[in-house]
């Protein structure tokens, strides 16, 4: 079953179970996917859908942090509930050690030696970790390995 089919099935289940937060989040996600399809004028495959979900996860994470910084805990908690729902549709997240191993392999593969090679390393690492690692963590690990 593809991600779109799973989203539709989960939306129906959430409706029947009267899970308002989950239902709202799934509807927002389906809408974001539809908008991306309209923008690209083609149907999205599962990899492209994971990209849309990753973007939504990043937005929720940043919004929750911003709300927490401004003492708006009720709004931060709402964003975190949505974040949890969205993460159910992403592949299992890689640990920091796993991402670090990927970074080291990519650096060795292309022969990167300094921070000037970061622009070459980042896209390759992000392609290998698509949807399964936070971009901020990847960035920090790439910087650490290139600097050290």
Is the CB of residue 20 less than 8 Å from the CB of residue 79?
Answer: no
Report the predicted TM-score, pTM, of the whole model to 2 decimal places.
0.79
CATH number assigned to the domain with residue range 96-147, chosen from the 4 options 3.40.50.620, 3.30.470.20, 1.10.10.410, 3.40.630.30: 1.10.10.410
Q: Say which CATH topology domain 3-87 has.
A: Hypothetical Protein Yqey; Chain: A; domain1 (1.10.1510)
- pLDDT greater than 90 at residue 56: yes
Q: What percent of the chain has pLDDT over 90?
A: 65
CATH 1.10.10.410 residue spans of the chain:
96-147
CA distances, 59 to each of 66, 109, 148 (Å): 10, 32, 31
Q: Look over the chain and give the mean of its residue pLDDT values, rounded to a whole number.
A: 92
Residue written as tokens 């970061």? 118
Q: Please check the confidence at residue 35 and state whether its pLDDT lies above 90.
A: yes
- The whole-number pLDDT of residue 4 equals 93
Q: Are 54 and 93 in contact (CB under 8 A)?
A: no
Among 110, 100, 114, 125, residue whose Cα is nearest residue 147: 114
Going by C-beta distance under 8 Å and a sequence separation of 6 or more, which residues neighbour residue 56?
Answer: 28, 29, 32, 86
Mean pLDDT of 21-34: 96
Of 83, 93, 117, the closest CA to residue 103 belongs to: 117
Q: Calculate the CA 51 to chain-centre distance.
A: 7
Has residue 127 got a pLDDT over 90?
A: no
- 148 pLDDT higher than 80: no
What's the mean pLDDT in 99-111?
A: 90
Q: How confident is the model at residue 71 (pLDDT cuts 50, 70, 90)?
A: very high
Q: Specify whether the CB–CB gap between 50 and 58 falls below 8 A.
A: no
């Amino acid at each position: 079953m593809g991600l779109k089919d799973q989203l539709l099935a989960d939306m129906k289940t959430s409706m029947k179970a009267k899970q308002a937060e989950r239902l709202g989040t799934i509807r927002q996600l389906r809408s974001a996917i539809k908008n991306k399809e309209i923008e690209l004028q083609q149907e999205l495959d599962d990899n492209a859908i994971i990209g849309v979900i990753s973007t939504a996860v990043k937005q929720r994470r940043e919004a929750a942090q911003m709300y927490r910084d401004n003492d708006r805990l009720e709004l931060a908690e709402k964003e975190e509930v949505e974040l949890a729902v969205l993460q159910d549709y992403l592949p299992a997240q890689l640990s920091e050690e796993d991402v670090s191993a990927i970074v080291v392999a990519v650096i060795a593969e292309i022969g990167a030696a300094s921070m000037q090679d970061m622009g070459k390393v980042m896209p390759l690492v992000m392609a290998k970790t698509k949807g399964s690692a936070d971009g901020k963590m990847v960035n920090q690990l790439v910087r650490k390995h290139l600097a050290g």
